[in-house]
Amino acid sequence: MKPTGFIATDTEWPPTILIDMNDSAIIIQRKGSYGHSRDQPVDITPHVFSYGPAKKNSLAITVLNAPGARNGIPYSIAIEVVEVFQHQQIVDMCLKTQRITAKDVIEDIRLKLSERNVDEDDDVALVSAKLTIALRDPLTASIFTTLVRDVQCRHRECFDLETFLMSRSNKQEFTCMPDAWPLCSGDTRPRLLRVDEFLVSVREKLEEDGDLEVKAILVAEDGSWTAKPEALPAERSKSWGSSGSLAGGVVEASPRPAVKSDFNVRDGSVGSMCSQNGFEMTGSITPTLLAKHHLPKILLNNGPLDIRHIIGYLTISIPEFSSIQPANQPRLDDW
């Protein structure tokens, strides 16, 4: 396994494992403990420092297989050396030295468009021999300001660096998880981030023309691009169960009625987290659950929609919601 793949892979400990670092027992934090949704890596730094830098460190691992336990499951373990950066250090490093030239980006796009057989997992949208690139930050659904992407990621889309850094946990009582790309969960360690100069020029042009509301662009092989056409507001209203009409080139749409939902989305709603994929299986859908797992993807695809209509969309169109039991009564009408 390549280092970038190992780092981006979730931690999963064997059922019974004992770890000693320099004769100090290491406590394993498993899924379900301290509110964790998955097994956690362990920080051995204090035990290394306490033993002394001039002495040899010793790591002892014992794995016990209980009778009837599954056999043949391969496990890999490694000691990762973590490099710590401050917020502004990462920003300066990306802006000053870690950049991808527009020429290189355009050449890569040309190669992508010239390929006849696109890998099924490539996540590349081909529309009339043009490449679609979204311009919305996946965390905020607004156009990015300091746009970066992982140098190894196959996605063309970027994310806003400042927003991403501010979203990282700074709670020292928990082990910080590996930096992951907001959409594909790829490896986004600070030294792998790159400023995309082609998309920088696109944003500058859109800002100059007053078109920062554009959500996506279509890019040709020569690097020329146009804004991707969007559905008319009347069509969007119709898709949400409302009526709309075009009169003299002006869209007239009647107010959209509240979408009834069987899900409780009010603050303070309670639910239990039971499934392996992190979705709530019983109780209510909380605002935190929506913001963490669903809203970034939906806002990226649809823009900042009314929360009532987002919930109506979720209850119908998101497969993961089919396994969630509804609350006892709808709450949206109470707003």
Q: In which residue are the tokens 């023309």 written?
A: 209
257 domain residue, yes or no: no
Is the pLDDT at 154 greater than 50, yes or no? yes
CA angle 257, 262, 268 (to 5 degrees): 100
The confidence score (pLDDT) of residue 176 equals 54
First to last CA, the chain: 51
Average pLDDT, the chain: 68
Beta bridge partners of 177: none
269-298 residue pLDDT tens = 344 334 333 333 334 455 555 555 555 555
31 has pLDDT over 70: yes
Q: Are residues 100 and 200 in the same domain?
A: yes
pLDDT value at residue 197: 92
233 — pLDDT class (breaks 50, 70, 90): low
- Which string of DSSP letters, residue by residue, matches 3-29? HHHHHHSPP---SSEEEEETTEEPPP-
**Within-domain flag for 204:** yes
Q: Of the residues 227, 253, 283, which one is the last residue of a structural domain?
A: 227
Same domain, 93 and 223: yes
Instruction: Decide which of 47, 63, 79 is a domain's last residue.
Output: 63
On whether residue 72 sits in a domain, the answer given is no
pLDDT digit string (tens) for 171-203?
Answer: 555 555 556 666 666 777 888 888 999 999 999
One domain for residues 277 and 161: no
| Segments forming the whole domain that contains residue 328 | 271-334
Q: Is 61 helix (H, G, I), strand (E, B) or coil?
A: strand
Mean pLDDT of 10-15: 85
Instruction: Look at residue 186 and tell me if it is in a domain.
Output: yes
Confidence of residue 30 (pLDDT cuts 50, 70, 90): confident
* Residue 73, domain member (yes or no): no
Question: 92 and 51, same structural domain?
Answer: no
Same domain, 57 and 105: no
Q: How many domains does the chain have?
A: 3
